[in-house]
């Protein structure tokens, strides 16, 4: 079932592997078939090795995320929709109901209500391309978050060390300038222009932060450390009977296949209650189409099971309401965490 | 001040010209003012404002077409077609699974290509493989005008909070009437795109629902078309990954938390991890795992590699 021939002991030995295309592609296919195609009931998932199972699921989920991010860069709406199709179940399985509901709503609008042109235009609002180069697109909301980051106060904690920071954020509100009127009247409108200005000043005085790569942690060192750890722990070697128990989980399940889990949750009423809630208006909580619900009641002979399984569906689980993230967050905020 | 005025004038001119379709993206911005930075008192305060920008859609969309489409009676948005939506239709089809398979193949190829020692440098063999990987990149359907440069018109912030439905109504009206100074009739003559995160989009829907009985289109706000933006989906996908795979370091050697500990990174909040930190950890962990499983695959299929070389 899980075919692992152990001849290469360490990843270090892969150095000597100098494949041509056929060999390379064959290995890639094997990896994808064996380790990632675990949607639905896959035989190897029932194997009694939790550790291996978990790693497979992680690889699948992380690759899905990678595919989505790549589709964004290349403005590939088709692939984005492909990932949404799977995320519709996966978000639900992981308990992210707000965005799970949003995906349902998006499918409803795009596939059942909008005309072709409206669909195309709406999709076009998703992404922007600052540089006009294929492969460099970012989501529209990320563009705004980046602007917000530039508007925000970024005062260096240590003035001697962060001389460039002062230059780079000279337009940012600081001290008594961090007021509503400053942001409204000065900081936010011309943010693009101020950004360019501060860059030009930095370039002129030759203080651009060109060496940032050096201060970043080396990716290779990280990967080498992890590779050794994976080998030591025999994560990807099938070991029968390895179980992972988790104490603080209510469900008692340590390893969750969020796709299958999400499908079950939707089948057990979450989908129906979403449909009942949104019936006509797509308002997600309030818009309950009474006419539709009556018809449903007649059809099924019972009252709708509003919100029975859809834990925290519309009423918003408090933490997700405030989900707000800024790529260039306030340094003082980081101190807290 | 002058710059702010001219940035607003620039956006107004663009919108009034009506040559291109546009979308308005907005989100809240929060500043925490610490005790230390207060002048008049020693309380920590927060400023909540709303920032926004007008984003021009590519020129390939013709405005007259769009306007006439919006006027079509068949475009009644809530025609109730969604009743035909069933769970069975949502389940990924074998075709979609196949598409995901080839997308995964491309992902693994790219990640291995960038991280395998035997495939670094600019040798002709590496270049050959790199070309083949690029040529086999699966693309399903690109957006109209993909790769075109986008024009942005950032707008001055509003002293409003968009987190509530009432706040959203004020924000939408202020953006249209004050910031862009559009006439109510003009604004409501065609669909206007307001885009943002889940909360924004939800508030826009609730807003339209609240106003459903108003007599005129402007009051009903049915000219507002909302759209949820992908970055917040990415953000939540990362939350999802961390929630699901963080695990307990002690008894699961393959979990994300163990990898975090190995790399001596800060702890991740299971509910709300820091995006960049979590992304980095996930990426490095994924690459390490792929390399680790590659070593199993190589032997059975290797052509160049021979056993003698490594005993």
Residue whose entry in the numeric block shows the structure tokens 């790199």: B130
Partner B contacted by A47 (CB < 8 A) = no
Full DSSP string of A276-318: HHHTTT--SSS---HHHHHHHHHHHSS---TTSSSTTTTT--H
* pLDDT tens-digit map of B47-83: 788 989 999 999 888 888 888 888 776 555 556 677 7
- Tell me what ipTM this predicted complex has: 0.91
Domain contains A97:
no
Say if residue B124 is exposed, middle or buried (CB neighbours under 10 Å; 0-12, 13-18, 19+): exposed
A230 neighbors A236 (Cβ within 8 angstroms): yes
> Residue B170 and residue B173: Cα distance in Å, rounded?
5
Pick the residue from chain B with its C-alpha nearest to A12.
Answer: B117
The pLDDT value recorded for residue B210 is 84
Task: Answer yes or no: do A76 and B139 touch at CB < 8 A.
Answer: yes
The answer to whether residue A306 sits within a structural domain is no
CA distance A322 to A319: 6
How much is the pLDDT for A62? Answer: 95
Cα distance between residue A98 and residue A317, in whole Å:
8
* pLDDT more than 90, % of chain B: 32
Nearest to B118 among A16, A233, A319 (CB): A16
Which is it for strands B45-56 and B152-158: parallel, antiparallel or unpaired? Answer: antiparallel
User: In which element (H, E) is residue B47 found?
Assistant: strand B45-56
Residue written as tokens 């025999």? A234
Is B247–A244 a contact, with Cβ atoms under 8 angstroms apart? yes
pLDDT score at B300:
41
For chain B, what is the mean pLDDT?
A: 84
Residue B255 structure tokens: 């979990």
| Residues A120, A179: Cα–Cα separation, whole Å | 40
**pLDDT tens-digit series, residues A60-99:** 999 999 999 999 999 999 999 999 999 999 999 998 888 9
CA distances from B136 to A73, A81, A192, A226, B132 (A): 17, 20, 37, 30, 6
pLDDT of residue B220: 86
pLDDT category of residue A330 using cuts at 50, 70 and 90? very low
The CA distance from A318 to the nearest CA of chain B, in Å, is 11
Q: What is the mean pLDDT of residues B151-158?
A: 89
> Over 80: is that where the pLDDT of B129 sits?
yes
> Does pLDDT of A268 surpass 60?
yes
Tell me the β-bridge partners of B55.
B23, B152
Q: Decide if pLDDT at A321 tops 70.
A: no
Interface of A with B in 254-313 (CB under 8 A): 254, 256, 258, 263, 266-267, 271, 275, 278-287, 292
Cβ neighbourhood burial of A210 (10 Å; 0-12, 13-18, 19+): exposed
| Closest chain B C-alpha to A205 CA, distance in angstroms | 24
Confidence of residue A164 (pLDDT cuts 50, 70, 90): very low
CB-based contact, B41 to chain A, within 8 Å = no
Q: Which tokens belong to B300?
A: 């059975």
For residue B73, give how far its alpha carbon lies from the nearest alpha carbon of chain A (Å): 12
pLDDT category at B278 given cuts 50, 70, 90 is very high
B194 vs B210: which has the higher pLDDT: B194
CB of A68 closer than 8 Å to CB of B234:
yes
Number of compact structural domains in chain A? 1
How much is the average pLDDT of B174-187?
A: 90
Look-up: residue for tokens 């949820």? B228
Interface of A with B in 158-197 (CB under 8 A): 173, 175-176, 178-180, 183-194
Kindly state the average pLDDT of the residues B237-250. 85
**pLDDT at residue number A107:** 92
Residues of A in contact with B311 (CB under 8 A): none
Query: What does residue A138 show for φ and ψ, rounded to 5 degrees?
Result: -130, 160
**Residue with token string 């963080």:** B246
Q: Which of the residue ranges A57-71, A124-138, B199-213, B244-258 would you say has the lowest mean pLDDT?
A: B244-258
Q: Do A62 and A235 form a contact (C-beta atoms < 8 A)?
A: no
Q: Residue B70 and residue A69: Cα distance in Å, rounded?
A: 32
Output the six-digit token pair for B308: 């003698």
- Rounded to the nearest 10 degrees, the angle between the axes of helix B275-301 and helix B94-115 is 90
Q: What percent of chain A has pLDDT over 90?
A: 19
The per-residue pLDDT for A226 is: 93
Structural element, H or E, at residue A204 = helix A191-204
Cβ pair A64, A90 in contact under 8 A: yes
Domain boundaries defined on chain B: 2-36+43-61+145-228, 93-135, 232-297
**Do the Cβ atoms of A126 and B230 come closer than 8 Å?**
yes
Pairing verdict, β B22-33 and B224-228: unpaired
Whether the CB of B252 is below 8 Å from some CB of chain A: the reply is yes
Residue A189 has its nearest CB partner, among B8, B146, B272, at: B8
Summarize pLDDT for A14-41 with one digit per residue, the tens.
777 778 888 889 889 988 988 886 665 4
The whole-angstrom distance between B187's CA and the closest CA on chain A is 17
Q: Using CB atoms, which residue from B61, B104, B269 is nearest to A63?
A: B104
pLDDT recorded at residue B308? 39
**Averaged confidence pLDDT in chain A:** 71
d(CA B309, CA B311): 6
Between positions 96 and 125 of A, the ones with CB within 8 A of B are: 96, 98-99, 102, 104-109, 111-115, 117-118, 120-125
Residue B311: is its pLDDT beyond 50?
A: no
Q: How many CB pairs under 8 A join A and B?
A: 548
- Asked if the C-beta of B311 comes within 8 angstroms of chain A's C-beta atoms, the answer is no
* Res. B227: pLDDT tops 50: yes
| 3 state DSSP class of B31 | strand
Q: Which residue has the tokens 């068949």?
A: B74
pLDDT of residue A324: 34
**What's the DSSP call for residue A113?**
I
Contacts of A180 in chain B (CB under 8 A): 47, 49, 159
Nearest to A230 among B103, B233, B288 (CB): B288
Whether A240 and A49 have beta carbons less than 8 Å apart is answered as yes
- With 50 as the cut, is the pLDDT of residue A128 above it? yes
Q: Is A313 inside a domain boundary?
A: no
Reported as type and span, the H/E element at residue A214 is helix A212-215
A36 touching chain B per CB within 8 A = yes
A258 vs B contacts (CB less than 8 Å)? 240, 244
Instruction: Write out the two tokens for A140.
Output: 């529209």
Q: Would the CB atoms of B108 and A28 count as touching at under 8 Å?
A: yes
Distance CA A58, CA A93 (A): 14
Parent domain of A157: 139-207
B218-224: long-range contacts, CB 8 A cutoff, minimum separation 24: B218/B184, B218/B185, B218/B187, B218/B188, B221/B169, B221/B172, B221/B188, B222/B77, B223/B187, B223/B188, B223/B189, B223/B190, B223/B191, B223/B192, B224/B172, B224/B191, B224/B192, B224/B194
| Partner B, chain A 52-81, Cβ-Cβ below 8 Å | 52, 54-55, 57-59, 61-70, 72, 74-81
Residue A117 pLDDT greater than 80, yes or no = yes
B207 touching chain A per CB within 8 A = no
Q: Inform me whether the C-beta atom of residue B144 falls under 8 Å from chain A C-beta atoms.
A: yes
Q: What's the pLDDT at A211?
A: 56
Q: Which of B33, B55, B274, B293 to mutate to test the interface with A (most CBs of A within 10 A)?
A: B293
What span, in angstroms and rounded, lies between the C-alpha atoms of A82 and B138?
Answer: 12
pLDDT at A208 over 70: no
Decide: helix, strand or coil at residue B291. helix
Q: Is B294's Cβ below 8 Å from some Cβ in A?
A: yes
Alpha carbon A165 to its chain centroid, in Å, reads 29
CB contacts of A151 in chain B (<8 Å) are 29, 51, 157
CB count in 10 Å sphere of residue A209 = 12
Q: Which of A102-106, A113-117, B234-238 comes out lowest in average pLDDT? A: A113-117
Min distance A207 CA to chain B CA atoms (Å): 25
Q: Which residues of B touch A189 (CB under 8 A)?
A: 3-5, 7-8, 154-157
């Amino acid at each position: 079932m899980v075919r692992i021939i152990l001849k290469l002991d360490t990843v270090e030995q892969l150095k000597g592997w100098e494949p041509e295309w056929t060999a390379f592609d064959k290995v890639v296919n094997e990896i994808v078939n064996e380790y990632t195609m675990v949607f639905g009931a896959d035989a190897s998932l029932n194997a009694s090795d939790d550790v291996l199972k978990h790693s497979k699921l992680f690889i699948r989920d992380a690759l899905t995320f990678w595919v989505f991010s790549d589709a964004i860069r290349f403005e590939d709406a088709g692939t984005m929709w492909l990932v949404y199709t799977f995320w519709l179940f996966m978000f639900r399985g992981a308990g992210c109901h707000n965005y799970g509901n949003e995906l349902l709503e998006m499918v409803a609008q795009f596939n059942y209500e909008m005309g072709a042109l409206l669909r195309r235009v709406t999709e076009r609002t998703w992404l922007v391309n600052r540089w006009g180069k294929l492969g460099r697109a970012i989501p529209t909301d990320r563009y705004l978050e980046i602007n917000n980051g530039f508007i925000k106060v970024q005062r260096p904690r240590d003035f001697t060390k962060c001389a460039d920071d002062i230059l780079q954020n000279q337009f940012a509100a600081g001290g008594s300038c961090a007021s509503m009127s400053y942001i409204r009247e000065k900081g936010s409108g011309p943010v693009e222009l101020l950004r360019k200005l501060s860059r030009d000043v930095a370039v002129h005085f030759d203080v651009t932060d060109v060496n940032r790569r050096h201060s970043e942690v080396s990716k290779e060192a990280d990967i080498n450390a992890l590779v050794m750890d994976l080998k030591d722990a025999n994560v990807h070697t099938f070991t029968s009977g390895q179980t992972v128990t988790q104490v603080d989980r209510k469900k008692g399940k340590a390893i969750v296949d969020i796709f299958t889990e999400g499908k079950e949750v939707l089948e057990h009423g979450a989908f129906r209650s979403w449909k009942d809630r949104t019936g006509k208006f797509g308002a997600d909580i309030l818009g309950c189409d009474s006419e539709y619900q009556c018809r449903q009641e007649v059809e099924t002979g019972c009252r709708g099971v509003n919100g029975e399984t859809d834990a925290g569906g519309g009423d918003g689980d408090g933490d997700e309401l405030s989900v707000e993230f800024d790529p260039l967050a306030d340094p003082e905020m980081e101190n807290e965490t | 001040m002058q710059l702010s005025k001219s940035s607003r004038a620039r956006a107004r001119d663009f919108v009034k010209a009506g040559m291109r379709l546009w979308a308005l993206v907005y989100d809240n911005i929060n500043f925490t003012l610490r005790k230390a930075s207060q002048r008049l008192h020693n309380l920590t305060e927060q400023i909540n404002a709303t920032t926004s920008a007008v984003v021009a859609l590519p020129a390939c969309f013709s405005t007259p077409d769009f306007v006439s489409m919006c006027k079509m009676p068949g475009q009644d948005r809530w025609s109730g077609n969604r009743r035909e939506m069933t769970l069975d239709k949502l389940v990924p089809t074998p075709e979609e699974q196949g598409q995901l398979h080839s997308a995964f193949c491309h992902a693994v190829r790219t990640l291995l290509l960038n991280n395998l020692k035997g495939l670094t440098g600019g040798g002709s063999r590496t270049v050959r493989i790199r070309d083949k990987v690029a040529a086999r990149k699966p693309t399903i359907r690109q957006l109209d005008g993909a790769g075109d440069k986008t024009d942005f018109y950032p707008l001055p912030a509003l002293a409003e909070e968009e987190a509530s439905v009432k706040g959203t109504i004020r924000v939408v009206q202020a953006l249209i009437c004050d910031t862009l100074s559009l006439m109510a009739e003009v604004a409501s003559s065609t669909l206007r795109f307001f885009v943002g995160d889940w909360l924004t989009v939800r508030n826009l829907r609730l807003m339209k629902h609240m106003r459903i009985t108003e007599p005129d289109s402007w009051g009903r706000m049915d000219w507002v078309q909302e759209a949820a933006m992908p970055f917040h989906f990415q953000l939540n996908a990362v939350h999802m990954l961390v929630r699901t795979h963080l695990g307990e370091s002690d008894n699961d050697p393959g979990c994300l938390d163990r990898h975090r500990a190995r790399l001596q990174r800060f702890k991740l909040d299971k509910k709300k991890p820091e995006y960049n930190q979590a992304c980095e950890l996930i990426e490095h962990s994924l690459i390490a795992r792929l390399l680790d499983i590659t070593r199993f695959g190589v032997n059975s299929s290797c052509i160049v590699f021979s056993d003698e070389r490594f005993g």
